[in-house]
Structures are given as structure tokens and as C-alpha cells.
Amino acid sequence: MRVPALPFVPFVFALAVGAARSQTPPAAPPDVAAPPPDAVKAPSGLATKVIARGTGTDHPTKDDVVVVHYSGWKTDGSMFDSSVARRKPATFGVSRVIAGFSEGLQMMVTGEKRRLWIPEALAYKGQREPKGMLVFDVELIDIPSHPPTDVKAPPADAKKTASGLAYKVLKEGDGGRHPRASGAVTVNYTGWTTDGKMFDSSVVRGEPMTFQVDQVIPGWTEGLQLMYEGEKARFWIPENIAYKGKSAPYGMLVFDVELIKIQ
């Protein structure tokens, strides 16, 4: 068994109408009834305002997949949907949502929070609820379909093992113990070829994977045993400890791996 090379299937996402599952849903913004004078209006009619500046520099395109937190209100202040209230970010394709939401996302960078006033013509067009202009607060958490800047080769600060595996810790874990080869782990991961093409992602599917450490490609088996629970690392896995040129994806593979739990 090896790291599953499942085809990339975009998360089909529709902004759901329904009660948010929380006793303390986000309050409607004070300018929910109409865009304030300092909102920027696009030719389409979409109005936006940056609430908090982001830390990234890349913008998602219509072909990207994003991870966001959002809350949506009608102009009377009634909230109709919220990933914040559900306490779970949403993952979906930028082109799979209403036109105004898609347009607004493409203006944002990771880490940014932005308010969108979406006219009915760019929302549900009066064909279903919620009708009228919709207002969203959106936080762009990640663009998992974007490759890391060092996807082509390990950077100078990456550590390298005798096998040729290169790795770099992106987020420190909780310490304590490492996984054993005979044990099982639950992880989130995204994989790219060195030309920046994403070929698999549990993050995009919204489904962390659980498997035995010694039942995946050798580079993964070795790399996972270097990690702590809660850690996020990047692996550069040469072909001889990946798929050995016997099947796609070929060549060196790059993975961002988050070790969620040691079973």
C-alpha cells in the first residue's frame, strides 16, 4: 500500500441556507443594511471592504480551491449561514459558489478578512432564498491548491536524511512521542509535483486520512516517524523512495503533512 493517489475531485459547495449551529452566532455588522462610503465598488456591482489585512501575497483564481471561514446575513441583519458558528472552516472551489462570492475571493490574499455586499444579481438572482442583497464576512485561511514557493527543490534550511528525504518543520508539534512504523496515524496532506501541479489533497477533500505508517511510500514512512503530534512539515521525497518511476506521479514529490493524531 502507498499514499493514496486519488484523483483531485473538487469539493462541490453551495452556500447553504439554514440555522447556524451555535448558541452564540456572529452578530450582524453595523453596516449590514448597505455598503458604507469607504467600501470599494466593482463594475459588477459587488462592494467590498477589507476588515483585516492578510499576511499572504497570492490571490486565488477561479480555478483554485480555498479554505475559508464566513458568515452571511440578509440586509435586515438575520444570519442565514456561518462556518464560524459551526466552528469548521469550509473548503470549496472558487468557481463553485455564487458569482459575487467568487469575485470577492479573487480580490483577497491569505489571512485577509473582507466584507462583501453582494447584489441579488450576483447572488441567487431572486430564484431562491435568501433573496435580495447578501452580506458576508469572509476570512481567507488558505489556498491549498497553490504550491509552496520552494516546490522545485529543498531550500538551504531543509534537513536531509541518509535516504535522500529532505524535510522542514512548518509548525511545531506538541513534543512527546513520534509515530512507530507499526502504528497508525491520522494526517492531513497535500502533494505536488516539482512543476507545482497538485495531484492529491486530503485538505481539499475535507477528509483527513488514517493509515498505518509502514503501509505508505518509504519517504512518508520515514518522514512521519520524525514528526510529533500536532506538527506540520514539508517533505521533499526523491523518486527512489516514492513511486520509483513505476507509476504516476513521477519524479520528486513534495508534501505538506500535518500529523493530527498518533493512533
Residues known to be catalytic:
189, 199-200, 217, 243, 255
Where are the strands (E) in the chain, listed by range? 40-41, 47-52, 65-74, 79-82, 90-93, 113-118, 134-142, 159-160, 166-171, 184-193, 198-201, 209-212, 232-237, 253-262
Taken in order 189, 62, 57, 135, the sign of the CA dihedral is negative
CB contact at 8 A, 240 and 164: yes
DSSP 177: -
List the one residue out of 149, 146, 97 whose CA is nearest residue 118. Answer: 97
CB contact at 8 A, 130 and 124: yes
